[in-house]
């Protein structure tokens, strides 16, 4: 059943627009169809400033890149910690036949634990490497002209950068 656009909806649209939200963000927050938002915004005399949206999108991309770089640092640190643990002394604990807790220090972790720590480090490094590749690809895409990106997307191709 179609939802009726009420006076309260108009007021909410005005408020979200005044807050600088894009048409797509208004859609995400309200669930209204993009066409509904466009039609009512036009009727209410509201325009979506593409430059403001572009600036907000660019700022968001910069913020996301900073977050990815922070995550990369954490992944690299995790890999270093796991490798250090794989090379350090290891406290082996268990139970004796009489039910007492026994502990013994080993120079290195047992093979299974060493393998698990190394696997964890390799997994963190693989994620680190993928994040670095994603950032490099994103940086390369930013150097393409807008028309190149548009045409490539319209043709369903990945844009190629001129050398």
Q: What is the pLDDT of residues 17-27, one digit of tens each?
A: 888 888 888 99
Give the list of residues 6+ apart from residue 104 with CB closer than 8 angstroms, or none.
Answer: 91, 92
Percent of the chain whose pLDDT exceeds 70? 81
pLDDT in tens, 84-126: 988 999 999 999 999 999 999 999 888 998 899 889 888 888 8
Do residues 143 and 159 make contact, with C-beta atoms less than 8 angstroms apart? no
pTM assigned to the model: 0.46
Supply 140's token pair: 């390369």
The secondary structure of 5-63 as a DSSP string is --HHHHHHHHHHHHTT--HHHHHHHH---HHHHHHHHHHTT----HHHHHHHHHHHHHH
Mean pLDDT of 33-44: 91
């Amino acid at each position: 059943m179609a939802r009726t656009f009420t006076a309260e909806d108009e007021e909410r649209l005005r408020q979200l627009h005044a807050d600088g939200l894009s048409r797509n963000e208004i859609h995400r927050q309200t669930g209204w169809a993009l066409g509904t938002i466009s039609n009512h915004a036009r009727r209410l005399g509201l325009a979506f400033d593409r430059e403001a949206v572009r600036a907000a999108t660019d700022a968001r991309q910069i913020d996301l890149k900073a977050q990815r770089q922070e995550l990369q640092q954490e992944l690299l640190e995790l890999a270093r910690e796991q490798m250090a643990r794989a090379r350090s002394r290891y406290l082996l604990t268990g139970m004796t036949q009489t039910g007492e807790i026994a502990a013994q220090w080993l120079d290195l972790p047992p093979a299974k634990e060493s393998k698990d720590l190394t696997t964890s480090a390799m997994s963190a490094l693989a994620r680190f490497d993928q994040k670095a590749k994603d950032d490099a690809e994103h940086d390369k895409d930013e150097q393409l002209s807008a028309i190149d990106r548009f045409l490539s997307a319209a043709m369903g191709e990945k844009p190629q950068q001129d050398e």
